[in-house]
Amino acid sequence: MNYPIILMILGMAIVTYIPRALPAVVIHRLKFSPKVEKFLRLIPYTAMTALVFPGVITVDASRPEIGIIGGTVAGILAWLKCPVIVCVVAAIATDMLLYAAL
């Protein structure tokens, strides 16, 4: 067994995990201004947009309306403040239904 490689993988896992876990542990102790709290609440929707939009414009070159409709569903649900996972799953379900119907 090649122990240096295993140690390197474990080290990389720890170094990656710490910056992700540390905010979750410390965040409840910090007090933010209302503007910063609003900004932090909008991050999931911004990330969703970055993940969904490329799929909207590249979903199917012969039927771009499917991607546009799915993206619109995700946008409306995000505007209604639905959880991000609900927006993404609804957009995927909409696209799947449109593919089956057309």
Which pLDDT belongs to residue 1?
A: 67
Regarding whether 94 and 77 lie in a shared domain, the answer is yes
Regarding whether 50 and 1 lie in a shared domain, the answer is no
Regarding whether 55 and 6 lie in a shared domain, the answer is no
Residue 30 burial (10 A CB sphere; 0-12, 13-18, 19+): exposed
What is d(CA 87, CA 28) in angstroms, rounded to the nearest whole number?
Answer: 26
Average pLDDT on 3-22 reads: 90
Regarding whether 61 and 15 lie in a shared domain, the answer is no
Under the banding of pLDDT at 50, 70 and 90, the label for residue 48 is: confident
Residue pair 68/56 in contact (Cβ under 8 Å)? The answer is: yes
Under the banding of pLDDT at 50, 70 and 90, the label for residue 88 is: confident
- If one counts the domains in the chain, the total is 2
Domain that holds residue 51: 32-101
Regarding whether 70 and 21 lie in a shared domain, the answer is no
Regarding whether 50 and 7 lie in a shared domain, the answer is no
Regarding whether 42 and 82 lie in a shared domain, the answer is yes
